[in-house]
Amino acid sequence: MRTVATYPPMADVEATVSSKGQVTLPKALRENLGIQTGSRIRFSLTSHGGFQGEPVRYDLDDLWKKADAGPKAPGVLSFEDMDAAKGRREW
């Protein structure tokens, strides 16, 4: 079960969009959300014409699903195969 993070309230912050469509997130916002170099942010459109963003956080199940989604090297087990092997106690 995924837990929802809660963040301390902070004042509204603004940023300017560059000619390349880039935005620098203000330091206070990055610190508040734990965003670091290389962090991923997911944006979604809202029903009232705005958008919201949130840091992308993966739990272990998400990472296993991502690994299962890509091409597999020979001899690599899927998540389901690993569970079955664990149940049989065979590797």
44: three-class secondary structure by DSSP: strand
- Claim to verify: residue 51 and residue 64 sit in the same structural domain: no
- Claim to verify: residue 40 and residue 51 sit in the same structural domain: yes
- Claim to verify: residue 73 and residue 41 sit in the same structural domain: no
Rounded Cα distance between 33 and 16, Å, is 19
- Claim to verify: residue 53 and residue 88 sit in the same structural domain: no
User: The domain containing residue 66 runs over which residues?
Assistant: 58-91
For residue 7, what pLDDT band results from cuts at 50, 70 and 90? low
Q: Do the beta carbons of residue 41 and residue 55 sit within 8 Å?
A: yes
Q: What pLDDT digit, counting tens, does each position of 46-67 carry?
A: 999 999 988 888 777 777 777 7
- Claim to verify: residue 45 and residue 75 sit in the same structural domain: no
- Claim to verify: residue 21 and residue 53 sit in the same structural domain: yes
Give this prediction's pTM.
0.53
Distance of CA 50 to CAs 17, 31, 58, 75, Å?
15, 23, 25, 47
Q: What is the DSSP letter of 62?
A: H
- Claim to verify: residue 35 and residue 63 sit in the same structural domain: no
Q: What pLDDT digit, counting tens, does each position of 10-43 carry?
A: 788 889 999 999 999 999 889 888 899 988 898 9
